[in-house]
Structure 1
Amino acid sequence: MIKDMVRELKNIDKNIWGLYTFKREPLNNKISQGEKLVMIERANECGHQEAIKIINKYGKRSCREYAKLLGISISELDNGKSGDYILFAKFNSPNKITVYMDNVKKTKEIVTEQNLNLLIDEVKIDDVLIAHEMFHFIEDNNREIYTRKTEIMLWKFGPIKYKSKLVALGEIAAMAFAKELLGLSYYPNLFDILLLYPHDEKRAKALYDELYAMKGDDRNA
């Protein structure tokens, strides 16, 4: 089952992945569909361009070499599970990325058992996680980056305005960054499902079904 799911997930385009990400955004209902699509395009371009900058500056290197050159410390811990929440990796300002290797190892076992390596372009799973969090490091050090400077108006009362940033933009850009940095032929958002699969097949299938339904809705729009 997971092999068929991965094969289909590779065909999901950036707009569907972006809308999927926005569904997890706390302010999702404050933004129109048209605004979301514009933001998805710009966030993807932001992540893409930041990866190009790194490649142009340092040449083609491994993900961990890029991290070292950027002054990022990478720690590996065993267990990233707390209750029902599973953590695969995280960035802590100013320069620390933590990767939870138990979860990576479980997914590697699935990749080997189901012969998925070629399907995922033979990428190292921990590299995908590191690349994603690397973008958050870059984002953290650039106040003018698109994902930080873009805000939406929540309310206005006379001269008083309240605006808020959007978490989804950074997540969308981080995936585009990882895709470009690692030279992937697909959007690495599919690891949201692949990494979850060894822990909870039912939840992974539910996410897949959600995406597949969104893909169908997009075709029928």
Structure 2
Amino acid sequence: MNRTAATTRLGDKVLAYSELKNDLLFHKIPKDKMIYYIEQPLAIGTAKAGEYKAKFGTDIQAICRNRGIKVVMNERSGKLGQIRFRAQIELSAEERVITLYKSSMEELQQCAGVLLPGRAFSLEEIMDIHLAHELFHDLEFSEIGYTNERLDYISSLSLGPFRIRASVTKTSEIAAHAFSRHLLGLPYLPNLLDYAHMIHSGALSREDFWKLVEDWSAELDNYC
């Protein structure tokens, strides 16, 4: 598959699959259930985005205010060891707070167009993408239930006659990506920006990224 062909395959299912592969229990997912753990969270996030867009439009800041969510801009990078946070949400019965890390947002803005030639992102757009993502997690917490807990559990460990079952946690992230994409009218799931950042930072080459897209597509074809 050449790069042009790979680009045509870079749709929601392929990017959702790339997220699913990061789940700690990915290797435990039955092959005949793989598409289920892609399509179901995509459908959940997309449906909720349509509902919210129809009711409230796309002003994420206003939606957060309406829901009583406090948005905090932190000037720091949000780096903890080798882990870099761009946004995080704290949820409790008393308070819900979304924190955005400004320098991380600015860094992502600089490289966001790496995989989308001609598509520039403003800092506000980058912030809105992350706000929408965290807003969905607030909806999971307060209204609809966590996506991974709504979907079928899988057998994660067997101890003689006993089986331990667990949820596929990355399905919650896939649903949040879909919510953000469809609420804001993005061309792709926003986890594409993670790969743009990796390319920009030198952690991944463009050629290797498109090779990954080919591999993901081929693997998905085997599950269909």
**1:147 offset after TM fit, Å?**
3.2
**1:143 offset after TM fit, Å?**
5.8
Query: Aligned equivalents of 1:104 and 1:46: distance in 2?
Result: 27
Structure 1, 170-179 or 19-28: larger mean CA deviation: 19-28
Tell me the equivalent position of 2:22: 24
**1:217 offset after TM fit, Å?**
4.8
Query: Aligned equivalents of 1:172 and 1:43: distance in 2?
Result: 6
The superposition leaves residues 121-154 of structure 1 with CA deviations (integer Å, 9 ceiling, x where unpaired) of 7771111111111111111123645432222233
Cα pair 1:147 1:173 within 8 Å, conserved: no
What's the Cα RMSD here? Answer: 3.2
Cα pair 1:139 1:147 within 8 Å, conserved: no
Query: Aligned equivalents of 1:25 and 1:17: distance in 2?
Result: 14
Identity %: 22
1:63 to 47, 60, 64: 60
Tell me the equivalent position of 2:217: 215
Structure 1 spans left out of the alignment, 5+ residues: none
1:73 to 64, 70, 74: 70
Residues 111 and 117 of structure 1: CA distance in aligned 2, closer, same or farther (over 3 Å): farther
Q: Does 1:202 align with 2:203?
A: yes
The superposition leaves residues 92-132 of structure 1 with CA deviations (integer Å, 9 ceiling, x where unpaired) of 113211111111112323458x7968526777111111111
Count of equivalent residues? 212
TM-score, length of structure 1 as denominator length: 0.80
Cα pair 2:108 2:193 within 8 Å, conserved: no
Cα pair 2:133 2:177 within 8 Å, conserved: yes
**1:37 offset after TM fit, Å?**
0.6
Structure 2 spans left out of the alignment, 5+ residues: none
Question: Which secondary structure does the structure 1 equivalent of 2:203 belong to?
Answer: helix
1:163 to 158, 162, 165: 165
TM-score, length of structure 2 as denominator length: 0.79
Question: Which secondary structure does the structure 2 equivalent of 1:130 belong to?
Answer: helix
**1:90 offset after TM fit, Å?**
1.3
Query: Aligned equivalents of 2:35 and 2:101: distance in 1?
Result: 32
Tell me the equivalent position of 2:81: 83
1:49 to 37, 47, 50: 47
Cα pair 2:112 2:193 within 8 Å, conserved: no
